[in-house]
Structure 1
Amino acid sequence: MERYKNLEGHSGVTGYEIHDDSIRVEFNHDAVYEYTYESAGRRIIERMKKLAASGKGLSTYISRTVREKFGKKL
């Protein structure tokens, strides 16, 4: 799991793991959710990957756009 940079300083996201057709997001060093092309759509997953790598805006994007479109909680 890669550490999320959290450049804005107030994100609940603490880590992420990018795969070809999915992304796993860790919240508060605890819960990990897997978002897939199947569960959320390709466009959303690719945007999440970019936000994760940039270290800014991922938590907001998830709460406003992605919401409950995760494939599973790990």
Structure 2
Amino acid sequence: MERYLDVNGDSGVVGYEIGDTYIRVKFSGTTRIYTYSYQSAGMNRVENMKRLARSGDGLNSYIMRYAKKLYE
């Protein structure tokens, strides 16, 4: 799992792992890892989350707005 950069220092995301058709996200304050896949969240959302994870900015906000309960 890669550490999330969090360029603004205000994210609840601490780490992520990217696969071909999914992204796994670890949030602060929990040991659970959430998997958002093409099947559960849709390709467009997952690809947006991958892009945000790599950039280190906006991932937590995006998940809370568009994919909060769409994990596997």
1:10 Cα offset (Å): 1.0
1:43 Cα offset (Å): 0.3
Divergent runs of 4+, >2 A: none
The residue that corresponds to 1:20 in the other structure is: 20
User: Could you say what the CA RMSD is over the residues aligned between the two structures, in angstroms?
Assistant: 0.9
1:6 Cα offset (Å): 0.5
The residue that corresponds to 1:3 in the other structure is: 3
Amino acid at match of 2:59: L
Identity of aligned residues (%): 49
The residue that corresponds to 1:33 in the other structure is: 34
Give the match's secondary structure for 2:69: coil
Give the match's secondary structure for 2:23: strand
Q: Looking at secondary structure, tell me which structure has more strand per residue.
A: 1
Q: Paired residues, what number?
A: 71
1:30 Cα offset (Å): 2.4
Normalising to structure 2: TM-score of the pair? Answer: 0.95
The residue that corresponds to 2:51 in the other structure is: 50
Consecutive unaligned residues in structure 1, runs of 5 or more: none
